[in-house]
Copies of this chain bind each other. A is one copy, B any other.
């Protein structure tokens, strides 16, 4: 079956590739996804992965199908590098920084949005999150404040309308994974790490991280000591490690958080944990629908074409 669309919105991350067909009027007419994330592809394999995903799609008008892409496809190790815009910057200018990779066949016209970098105030980079932030700004007009995007590399961004003022990256999710898999702490996770003790461990770890974010290098080892000395089980230990890292991340950003709820953009499970820890810190988190947000961002980026 051939699908007819105006254009296609694509979020091309490290692990996955997701595409939404946008019909006349802006409605989503199809959704497709593939495990062919940037991390699994060589440079030459990007055109084929996109063509394969969109083979049954035809443009509504004459000419090639517009495909607007955000995320790691634009990284140096991706399809074609889309140089960063530098913060502070107005995200309505994303499309101005886009690049257009060659695509054999002429049936598809891909456009890759840039990421955002920061040089003053600490070198930093993001790719994909800038489009989500533009989506959040579009869906929440007048929003000004800090936004938290939990994940492998959590982002904390200061937004003023569509303008990104500054941001930081916490390696929380990745540190959890490398410690769980490769460090001495792995000995504490032999067994069911998702058992009923996980919630208690998470709460204990989060409290420790919030109270003393500066002690992380030391409290991490307590995961191991707790299983050696106190007979803590793998589920409790995994929860403690996770809570300790999230608590440390939120504790170290506590000074950025005011009375207003912090928008949380990420997986629902992770956002719920961050909301729990924000609550423990006397603040509030507001999980948002990440798919709705990124779609709004891609639509907004396209609408601000100059």
* Chain A residues with a Cβ under 8 A of chain B: 76-77, 84, 117-119, 122-125, 153, 168-172, 174-175, 178-179, 181-184, 187, 213-222, 224-226, 228-230, 245, 248-249, 251-252
List B contacts of A214 (CB < 8 A): 213-214, 248, 251-252
Given A122-B222, A214-B214, is A228 in contact with B169 using a C-beta cutoff of 8 Å? no
Cα-based distance from A218 to B225 in the complex (angstroms): 26
List B contacts of A224 (CB < 8 A): 125
Given A124-B225, A222-B122, A229-B123, is A248 in contact with B217 using a C-beta cutoff of 8 Å? yes
Q: Contact partner of A218 among B84, B170, B215, CB < 8 A?
A: B170
Cα-based distance from A183 to B251 in the complex (angstroms): 23
Known: A123-B228, A213-B214. 12 other contacts (CB 8 A): A117-B228, A117-B229, A122-B222, A123-B229, A124-B222, A168-B218, A175-B217, A178-B182, A178-B183, A216-B216, A216-B217, A218-B252
Cα-based distance from A125 to B251 in the complex (angstroms): 26
Given A213-B214, A217-B170, A245-B217, is A153 in contact with B123 using a C-beta cutoff of 8 Å? no
Would you list 14 pairs from A and B whose C-beta atoms are within 8 A, ordered by A residue?
A117-B228, A117-B229, A119-B230, A122-B219, A122-B225, A124-B221, A170-B221, A171-B184, A171-B221, A172-B217, A175-B179, A178-B183, A213-B214, A214-B251
Evaluate contact between A249 and B174: CB separation under 8 angstroms.
Answer: no
Closest residue to A75 on the B side, CB-wise?
A: B228
List B contacts of A170 (CB < 8 A): 217-218, 221
Evaluate contact between B169 and A225: CB separation under 8 angstroms.
Answer: yes
Q: Which of A84, A169, A230 has the most CB of B within 10 A?
A: A169
Given A123-B230, A252-B214, is A184 in contact with B153 using a C-beta cutoff of 8 Å? yes
List B contacts of A76 (CB < 8 A): 228
Evaluate contact between B217 and A123: CB separation under 8 angstroms.
Answer: no
List B contacts of A119 (CB < 8 A): 229-230
List B contacts of A215 (CB < 8 A): 213, 252
Query: Which 7 pairs show the lowest CB-CB distances between chains A and B?
Result: A123-B225, A213-B214, A214-B214, A169-B221, A170-B217, A168-B218, A178-B178
Evaluate contact between B125 and A169: CB separation under 8 angstroms.
Answer: no
A277 to chain B, nearest CB (A): 13
Closest residue to A115 on the B side, CB-wise?
A: B228
Evaluate contact between B220 and A171: CB separation under 8 angstroms.
Answer: yes
Q: Contact partner of A252 among B124, B217, B249, CB < 8 A?
A: B217
A114 to chain B, nearest CB (A): 13
Cα-based distance from A83 to B178 in the complex (angstroms): 30
